[in-house]
Amino acid sequence: DRLKTGSVIPVTPPPTSPATNHRLWPEIERMVEAQVMMAKMGIGECGSGWQLFAEDGEMKMYRREEEVDGMVVDPLKAVHVVKGITGHEVCHHFFSPQYRYDWETTLEHMTVLETISDDTLVFLQTHKRIWPASQRDGLFWSHIRKLPNEKDRDGPDIWTVVNNSTDHPDYPPNNGKCVRVFLTVCLLCQTTVDPPKEGMPLTRDNLSCKITYCSVVNPGGWAPASVLRAVYKREYPKFLKRFTAYVKNQTQSKPIMF
Residues contacting residue 169 through CB under 8 Å, at least 6 positions apart: none
Distance CA 58, CA 62 (A): 13
Torsion of CA 226, 229, 232, 233, to 10 degrees: -100
Contacts to ligand 6CM from residues 86-105, by CB under 6 A? 104
User: CB under 6 A: which stretch of 53-61, 62-70, 179-187, 203-211 binds ligand 6CM?
Assistant: 179-187
Residue 73 near ligand 6CM by CB under 6 A: no
Residue 72 CA, distance from chain mean position: 20
Q: Which is nearer to ligand 6CM, 138 or 156 (by Cβ)? A: 138
Distance CA 122, CA 17 (A): 16
Q: How far is the CB of 251 from ligand 6CM (least distance, A)?
A: 19
Q: Which is nearer to ligand 6CM, 240 or 256 (by Cβ)? A: 240
Q: Which is nearer to ligand 6CM, 77 or 136 (by Cβ)? A: 136
152 half-sphere exposure, CB direction, 13 A CA radius:
9
Contacts to ligand 6CM from residues 229-258, by CB under 6 A? 231, 235-236, 239
Distance CA 145, CA 96 (A): 13
Binding mask 24-63 for ligand 6CM (x = CB under 6 A): ----------------------------------------
Contacts to ligand 6CM from residues 190-229, by CB under 6 A? 215, 217, 219, 223-224, 227-228
Q: How far is the CB of 39 from ligand 6CM (least distance, A)?
A: 13
Write the DSSP string, 28-68: HHHHHHHHHHHHHS-TTTS-S--EEEEEETTEEEEE---EE
Residue pair 125/115 in contact by the 8 Å Cβ criterion: no
| Interface with ligand 6CM (CB under 6 A) | 104, 106, 125, 127, 130, 133, 136, 138, 163, 181, 183, 185, 215, 217, 219, 223-224, 227-228, 231, 235-236, 239
